[in-house]
Amino acid sequence: MSISNTCRIEQGVNTVNRREFLKSGALMGLLSSPLLVPPSLKAMELLESGKDFSPKNNGERQGIPSVCLQCVSGCGIIGYVEDGRLVKIEGNPEHPNSRGRLCAKGQAGVNQVYDPDRILYPLKRAGKRGEGKWERISWDQALSELVGKMKTLREQGRAQEVVFRSGRNRIGDLTERFFTAYGTPHQLNHTTICEGSKFVANELTWGYYRELPDVDHTKYILNFGSNPFEAHTIHVSLAQRISEARVNQRAKLVTFDVRLSNTAGRSDEWFPIKPGTDGAVALAMTKAIMDAGEYDADFINTWTTSSVEQLKAHLAPYTPEWAEKISGVAAPDIRRLALEFASARPHATTLSYRGVASHSNGTMSERCISLLNAVIGSVDAPGGYGMAEAIKYKEKASKPPALAQKSELVKPHEYPLASHGVAQLGLPLIEEGRAKCSIYVTYVNNDAYSYPDTEHMKQILANETLIPYFVSVDAYMGEATLFADLILPDATYLERQNLEQEDCFSRNPYVALRQPVIPPLGESRPFQDVLIDLAQRIGGGLEKFFDFKTMDEYVAGRIAGIEGLQAAGGLDYLKKHGVWFDPNKKLEYYRYKKPIKSETLNGTIVENGTIYKMEGDKKKYVGVMIKDQALQGFIPTAFPLSGKFEIYSKILEEKGLPPLPTYVPIEHLENLAQDDLILTTFKVHVQTQSRTANCKWLSEIFHDNPLWIHPQSAAKRNLKDGDEVIVQSKVGQQKTKVRVTEGIHPLVVAFAMGVGHTEYGRYASGKKVVPTPDDQGQWWHTFGVHLNSLVPVMVDPIGGGQPFMETVVKVSKV
């Protein structure tokens, strides 16, 4: 059963492009998400012909390998170019993670390049801020204006009045280099409007920010609030492996989601859980496992900071019956699933994402979920809850020294454990006066669409006293970019260059190259090149840290220390193949048990069982003593951990927070009034966040997002499918339509992210940015409703995450 909105394929126009596209993947995807399209024969032929995708070998049609950025997953692609025009994108079969598969969004990347509303020239504001009137200017004029302002500020000792914000920034190494050399600590990211709380939970518990479930070998997946068949941050690579595991080793997939997502619909069992209560279910499952004696005592007693006795005592109140009252998941099911999960050990793993992380108890709930893996000893086991490892670059170019000033915008002092910052507070704290902002520079960012309380965010962006000068580096007219004073037209991801790595489910760490498959259109320029240029123009020492002339030179410098890649041919190899990995070097299982070489132990000290090396007055983690052996342990990243799996967290204890995984009820969801509902939000298979609704092929399939509502809740409000409603929260109200469906918890209403734009060009909003007549047969004129203006800015007090999935609302018929 498909629960996505019905598409209108039958009624659309029949251009050749479109038909090819549908044949090649989108239709198949719609019928059977996940959208996994095998590489075509053409790609296979190329592969067999000596694995060389370089243009000269392929005659008229050039195939250039690169990396997709329609979402964050980093799938390998091949862009096919005919007569200088990008005509098609397919999967790169050499890529160890995506293995030649691509989703519909990946294929629609062609649309990003040729979007008729794309910004191709530098633009200067000509009317009032946000009015949408622009004057085309030259690059020289644009950069002179910006450089003038930035130089003056810096000379006056006010470099910290420049605030930089990026969203999906894949050149963070360069932007950090630039803005640190310039002298501002205010470099905001978007992690906490995404999955920040999950990262913090993992960093507090076992060091690495994200788990790498070994789905290839797993027999049991307990999925709390992720939707890997449509979303998840490594979507295609994960979805294809879950599908295979279910066939190959009959792995069982159990999903907890407030809504019948496409993953829930294709799971063995789906539980419509009450929002924000996953932690309670996970704790009750853990208790059931402990009570039945189905736990791994050795792992708990040896490798964690807790013990079987302590855990049993702590879990005593968390009975399945207790969890049933909180979550709505029946106690017998909780017991049964817990024992099934434990009996598959160690080939069993949890999977979780934003359905857990995007709550005000996100960090704690995520810790409850990782505990499940610890008690059954599946941590880094075959088929279990693994850990990725990145290949380290050794920067050749010298790096600017760290700045002494810390940023109150990036890391407000109230949230000392929010290691990835608190992105949603960035603009509100400027308004509060926490830091002065004279120039706001944004890159791949959309505060006015993707953030909570968007009407308020827009007011801040419109306020020239708070933000006197706003420069947006963008390729499209995003809702935030509309407020800019200066727009620098970026090249699309198909026209720019950077290195890429994502956690690889085949346990093959790899390095991939995103490279231009065609030169930038119009006068657009990759921001990476602009940064190199700006550093020279601003000078004053910045140029020292940008002593490379081109991205080629910089990228070659970063990979110079990777021996295997160098032996294979370095940058040339990456340009030909798009990706490099050492097939003989798979991540081993149980790496935490690896002995430490005796020479590494020279000059180390041991404190409470943790081995350190002193670097100046700083203790650097080396390993952990286990039964008189020096072993690698769980390597800390953001926090000073012990090297054991920290079920008991001293760091949390010191902050007065529950040191053991604990269920923290979400107060405002506990005290709902009779007619209150909980507004949640989700991703769909063919749109990504704020960034793909301009793709004609995608918006043709998905352009409307009526609010999902359960028949019982609809009946109480006298609503039928398609009726108009007003949704009201404490920060705003908005009109939308409803879709009545059994596939949602009766207390919940849900809207899809990705559409409902008010800008972003004709295909996303009906508004033309560039007045060309060519609409390529656009037949839809509804664009959905985005409800982020109803979501209040909130903060998970531990991990800093923005709770997007717990807005209390009233829904009434218009």
Using CB under 6 A as the binding rule, the residues of this chain from 268 to 287 that contact ligand MGD are: 273, 275-276, 278
Tokens of 624: 């952990």
Candidates 142-150, 176-184, 187-195, 578-586; binding stretch for Mo ion (CB under 5 A)? 187-195
Candidates 169-177, 192-200, 293-301, 780-788; binding stretch for Mo ion (CB under 5 A)? 192-200
Closer to ligand SF4 by CB, 43 or 471: give it: 43
709 contact, one of ligand SF4, ligand MGD, Mo ion, none, CB 5-8 Å limit per kind: none
Candidates 190-198, 248-256, 451-459, 612-620; binding stretch for Mo ion (CB under 5 A)? 190-198
Position 68 contacts ligand SF4 (CB under 6 A) = yes
Closer to ligand MGD by CB, 166 or 305: give it: 166
DSSP3 helix / strand / coil % (the chain, rounded to 5):
35, 20, 50
450 contact, one of ligand SF4, Mo ion, ligand MGD, none, CB 5-8 Å limit per kind: ligand MGD
- Spatial CA neighbour of 583 closest among 501, 499, 505, 506: 506
Tokens of 571: 């940058």
Q: Phi first, then psi: what are they for 698, rounded to 5°? A: -85, -45
User: Hey, what amino acid is at 250?
Assistant: R
**How many residues form the binding site for ligand SF4 (CB under 6 A)?**
12
Enumerate the β-bridge partners of residue 76.
Answer: 67
Closer to ligand SF4 by CB, 7 or 484: give it: 7
Position 683 contacts ligand MGD (CB under 6 A) = yes
Smallest gap from Cβ 734 to ligand MGD, in A, equals 12
Report the number of secondary-structure helices (H) and strands (E) in the chain.
28, 29
Candidates 41-49, 306-314, 490-498, 666-674; binding stretch for ligand MGD (CB under 6 A)? 490-498
Position 235 contacts ligand SF4 (CB under 6 A) = yes
Smallest gap from Cβ 353 to ligand MGD, in A, equals 3
Position 788 contacts ligand MGD (CB under 6 A) = yes
Instruction: Count the Cβ atoms, other than its own, within 10 Å of residue 126.
Output: 11
Closer to ligand SF4 by CB, 205 or 501: give it: 501
Distance CA(495)–CA(517), nearest Å, equals 6
Candidates 20-28, 317-325, 537-545, 676-684; binding stretch for ligand MGD (CB under 6 A)? 676-684
Candidates 231-239, 315-323, 383-391, 701-709; binding stretch for ligand MGD (CB under 6 A)? 231-239
Closer to ligand SF4 by CB, 238 or 709: give it: 238
* One of 24, 690, 705, 765 touching ligand MGD (CB under 6 A): 690
* One of 71, 356, 787, 808 touching ligand SF4 (CB under 6 A): 71
In 353-438, the DSSP E strands lie at: 385-387
Distance CA(21)–CA(73), nearest Å, equals 21
Distance CA(234)–CA(227), nearest Å, equals 11
Sign of CA dihedral 22, 28, 33, 34: negative
- How wide is the angle at C-alpha 203 spanned by C-alphas 200 and 205, nearest 5°? 110
Tokens of 496: 């720019």
- Spatial CA neighbour of 721 closest among 702, 704, 708, 703: 708
Q: How far apart are the first and last CA of the chain?
A: 31
Smallest gap from Cβ 802 to ligand MGD, in A, equals 8
Angle of the 320-327 helix axis to the 278-291 helix axis, nearest 10: 170
273 contact, one of Mo ion, ligand SF4, ligand MGD, none, CB 5-8 Å limit per kind: ligand MGD
Return the residue matching tokens 């009906």: 766
In 176-287, the DSSP E strands lie at: 187-188, 211-213, 220-224, 252-256, 269-271
Position 688 contacts ligand MGD (CB under 6 A) = yes
Cβ-proximal residue to ligand MGD, closest one = 167
Smallest gap from Cβ 143 to Mo ion, in A, equals 31
Position 170 contacts ligand MGD (CB under 6 A) = no
**How many residues form the binding site for ligand MGD (CB under 6 A)?**
60
- Spatial CA neighbour of 690 closest among 542, 525, 431, 474: 474
Position 70 contacts ligand SF4 (CB under 6 A) = yes
Smallest gap from Cβ 512 to ligand SF4, in A, equals 11
106 contact, one of Mo ion, ligand SF4, ligand MGD, none, CB 5-8 Å limit per kind: ligand SF4
Closer to ligand SF4 by CB, 663 or 697: give it: 697
Closer to Mo ion by CB, 24 or 191: give it: 191
Instruction: Count the Cβ atoms, other than its own, within 10 Å of residue 735.
Output: 10
Closer to ligand SF4 by CB, 104 or 555: give it: 104
- Pairing mode, if any, of strands 629-631 and 618-626? antiparallel
Candidates 445-453, 511-519, 573-581, 697-705; binding stretch for ligand MGD (CB under 6 A)? 445-453
Instruction: Count the Cβ atoms, other than its own, within 10 Å of residue 592.
Output: 22
Enumerate the β-bridge partners of residue 486.
Answer: 124, 471
Instruction: Count the Cβ atoms, other than its own, within 10 Å of residue 675.
Output: 12
Give the SS3 label for residue 295. coil
Say if residue 346 is preceded by a cis peptide, omega within 30 of 0.
yes
Position 805 contacts Mo ion (CB under 5 A) = no
Tokens of 745: 């918890």
What letter would DSSP give residue 267?
S
Tokens of 751: 């809207």
CB 528 within 8 A of CB 174: yes
Q: Phi first, then psi: what are they for 423, rounded to 5°? A: -55, -40
- Pairing mode, if any, of strands 748-752 and 676-682? parallel
Closer to ligand SF4 by CB, 232 or 739: give it: 232
* One of 90, 173, 257, 453 touching ligand MGD (CB under 6 A): 257
481 contact, one of Mo ion, ligand MGD, ligand SF4, none, CB 5-8 Å limit per kind: ligand MGD
Using CB under 6 A as the binding rule, the residues of this chain from 88 to 127 that contact ligand SF4 are: 102-103, 105-106
444 contact, one of ligand SF4, ligand MGD, Mo ion, none, CB 5-8 Å limit per kind: ligand MGD
CA 654 to chain centroid, in Å, comes to: 30
CB 440 within 8 A of CB 470: yes
What is the rounded radius of gyration, in angstroms, for the C-alpha atoms of the chain? 26
- How wide is the angle at C-alpha 354 spanned by C-alphas 389 and 647, nearest 5°? 60
Position 194 contacts Mo ion (CB under 5 A) = yes
Smallest gap from Cβ 8 to ligand SF4, in A, equals 22
Smallest gap from Cβ 456 to ligand SF4, in A, equals 30
Candidates 380-388, 391-399, 444-452, 571-579; binding stretch for ligand MGD (CB under 6 A)? 444-452
Position 178 contacts ligand MGD (CB under 6 A) = no
Tokens of 621: 């983690």
Q: Phi first, then psi: what are they for 738, rounded to 5°? A: -110, 155
Q: Which residues bind Mo ion (CB under 5 A)?
A: 194
Q: Which residues bind ligand MGD (CB under 6 A)?
A: 71-72, 167-168, 190, 193-195, 224-227, 230-233, 235, 256-259, 261, 273, 275-276, 278, 353-355, 359, 443-446, 450, 473-476, 478, 481, 490, 492-493, 527, 680-683, 685, 687-691, 753-754, 788, 804-805
Q: Which residues bind ligand SF4 (CB under 6 A)?
A: 68, 70-71, 73-75, 102-103, 105-106, 235-236
